Chain A
Amino acid sequence: MSQGWVEVCGVDDIDEEDLIRFDHDGRTFAVYRSSDGGYYATDGLCTHEQIHLADGLVMDEIIECPKHNGRFNYKTGEAMGAPVCVNLKTYPAKVEAGTVFIAIS
């Protein structure tokens, strides 16, 4: 069921090469701003032990989980090795008039 685009925040509410937690409709997402100014979104909880990724560290294209440093590529959602083995779901993100939107399906 597609819910279409949902407003997340202003473009500057996310620092460069950083992420924020975004809760919507009982679900949690992580929304990223890459160092080259792109915006991305994934599920907000680590697939290892359901920890919020928003407290983690973004470097290059990787989000590192704060709990046991499990790593994912946040652009593709790919789990990058132990202890995580299940990928993150990703969602399209876009910017319109200084506002970040993500498409939740």
Chain B
Amino acid sequence: MSKIIIVGGGECGARAAFALREQGFNGDITLIGAEPHLPYERPPLSKTGLASAAPPQYVAGPARYEEARITILTGVPVDTVDRQSKLVRLSDGRKFPYDQLLLATGARPRPFAGVSGDPGLGRICMLRNHGDAVAIHEALAPGKSLAVVGGGFIGLEIAATARKLGAEVLLIESSPRVLSRGVPAEIAKVVTERHRQEGVNILCGEQITSIATENDKVQILFANGTTRLADIVVVGIGVIPNVELAEAAGLLIDNGIAVDATLRTSDPDIFAAGDCCSFPLSHYRERRVRLEAWRNAQDQGMLVAANLLGRGLAIASVPWFWSDQYELTLQIAGLSDGAATTVRRDLDQGAFILFHLDGEDRLIAASGIGPGNAVARDIRLAEMLIAAKRRLDPEALASPKTNLKKLLAA
């Protein structure tokens, strides 16, 4: 019987395993994960999960794996992939043969080079897994001071949650503004103002040279010679794809495990999907991207399952991302860099959407922010309009009176 092994028990690996069964695969499915838990959702780790340190929110309970006849091994990393004999070796020495392999190894936080002292004391942290969230939660309390290094999504979400828990928050970003990657300045401004209103001290354009534990505090040294002290520091300066296993096996690497439009690596029997891989994006002139987003992990998990079964489907989804901070939700569909025109559509409750169009008036991205789910419907429709690649009238998009659903049907 045919054997499929999935390395990586995250969103993408778990989704692929279930999708294989849903799509009719009858052979053996083995999902191997390095973490001690069944696959769980990461987005809550910086939001509700961090606020409560509740148990992880599992993608599925143990009964569903059993029902779907998915063998799941947790707490054991795969150490090597032997492509000649087609087997994987686990850190505990066990070996498993495969016919086809899926690498869904995800990514890990990028460490800050200037950390010194003992990060094991739990005062200099990064956030990727459930254990990290529990450690940060436990260190936070009313009156404690937190410094967040990095003004990206993770850093900002941690700042918002820490304020909810009553901690004092300083956020340090080296760029001139927060969310400098992929988020328009107009939206970053709303986010910055909202954080300042909550009392978060945001410093932009500041370089840090070192972070060191010092007695029961952490000292942050800036390039300009000044220092700051905090009880706990969380570093959130991006992630590094987990490619080591693939690299050692001799697979092609290019900002992640390089795959083609069907998520196949340079070895025809090995696929890769989720945060660990880079792929050509058809809506953006086959530009090679690596996405670090939950929906992408899900979509690719389902697509790769079809392709493990020989369907040969090309990636067609439009990138989509969301973030929650306080009552605000931000959603982005598509990639906005390279836009020729941007128009703004104002919605109720101060919510707004920016539509980004290329030189031929085709929608390439939409970014929106507002309370609750105020922008959700229009962003979803924008995603479909991007996929449809149709020419649109920028003024019509900007007018809140224009029904986007009708534009899609037109």
Contacts and interface: CB of A to CB of B under 8 A. Distances in A.
Interface of A: 17, 51-52, 55-57, 59, 64, 66-69, 81-83, 85
A31 B374 CA distance: 19
B15 interface: yes
Nearest to A67: B373
B49 to A, nearest CB: 12
B325 to A, nearest CB: 15
A83 B298 contact: yes
A57 B377 contact: yes
B3 interface: no
Nearest to A83: B298
26 contacts: A51-B373, A52-B373, A55-B373, A55-B374, A55-B376, A55-B377, A56-B373, A56-B376, A56-B377, A57-B376, A57-B377, A57-B381, A57-B405, A59-B405, A66-B373, A66-B376, A66-B377, A67-B373, A67-B376, A69-B295, A69-B380, A81-B22, A81-B302, A82-B15, A82-B298, A85-B64
Contacts of A55: 372-374, 376-377
Contacts of B380: 57, 64, 66, 69
A71 to B, nearest CB: 11
A66 B405 CA distance: 15
Given A66-B380, A67-B376, 11 more contacts: A52-B373, A55-B372, A55-B376, A57-B405, A59-B405, A67-B322, A67-B373, A68-B294, A69-B320, A82-B298, A83-B41
A69 B381 CA distance: 12
B60 interface: yes
B210 to A, nearest CB: 39
The interface residues of chain A, by DSSP majority, are classed as loop
B355 interface: no
Interface of B: 15, 18, 22, 41, 59-60, 64, 294-295, 298, 302, 320, 322, 372-374, 376-377, 380-381, 405
A57 B333 CA distance: 15
**Listed residue (A17, A64, A69) with the most chain B CB atoms within 10 angstroms of its CB:** A69
The 10 closest A-B pairs by CB, nearest first: A66-B376, A66-B373, A55-B373, A57-B377, A57-B380, A55-B376, A82-B298, A82-B15, A55-B377, A66-B377
A82 B302 contact: yes
Contacts of A57: 376-377, 380-381, 405
Contact of A85 (B60, B302, B405): B60
A63 B166 CA distance: 38
B31 to A, nearest CB: 15
Contacts of B294: 68
A20 B135 CA distance: 42
A48 to B, nearest CB: 10
A85 B298 CA distance: 14
Contacts of B373: 51-52, 55-56, 66-67
Contacts of A59: 405
B372 to A, nearest CB: 7
Contacts of A81: 22, 302
